[in-house]
Amino acid sequence: MELKDILRKCDHTLLAQTAAWEEIQALCDDGIRYGCASVCIPASYVKRAAEYAAGQIPICTVIGFPNGYDTTAAKCFMAKDAVDSGADEVDMVINLGWVKDRRWEDLLSEIRAVKAACGQKLLKVIIECCMLTDEEKIRLCGIVTDSGADYIKTSTGFGGGGATREDVALFAKHIGPDVKIKAAGGIASLQDAEDFIALGASRLGTSRIVRAVKALEAEK
């Protein structure tokens, strides 16, 4: 697979609690230079990053992150605020306690509400696979499909586990035709990236693919 084809599927990501503007700015520069799908950054930097990037790359942010147990009203506020600040894409974390309580209708309603708050912008739904059973993952594939969200996403990267090949293959088998897959967390190499794309992922949430490409360039 061509490097440019891998890079255009990457959400070039920096979500560390200590992320400073200089690092966000460098992330934007690299995302633009390498033709990434977006930069995924903390909500507090969305407005400044959107102004800095000036339309050269989509701005993605996260809400209800990383635990997912904010109220629906809070998540909707965060989504609208992010979009109003210039976000093109929003990655939300579901309420994992509701999954364990089997509150399927509440989960569906919340995702629909956040999608409405996003307007025409992309919504990706993080289900944190490392905390779920396969039965729960399959049920959530159906809920995300019914919600009108654009993507189902494997992981926050903060939950103790990241994307696995098995989970992406499971998603591909159980999501509807209008839902895409984002694999995130632990994608460390170009081989990882190729594997996840081959299994059906349209987006990769990672900070390490651009780094890997830079390492290749340094060897030349």
> Which one, of 89, 117, 114, lies nearest residue 13 by Cα?
89
Q: Quote the Cα angle for 104-108-109, to 5°.
A: 115
Residue 159 has what DSSP assignment? S
Q: Sign of torsion, CA 149 150 156 161? A: positive
**Distance of alpha carbon 196 from alpha carbon 167, whole angstroms:** 10
Residue 71's Cβ-count burial label (10 Å; 0-12, 13-18, 19+) is: exposed
Q: Sign of torsion, CA 38 199 112 178? A: positive
Q: Could you give the residue numbers annotated as active site? A: 91, 153, 182
For 5, residues 6+ apart whose C-beta sits below 8 A from its C-beta are: none
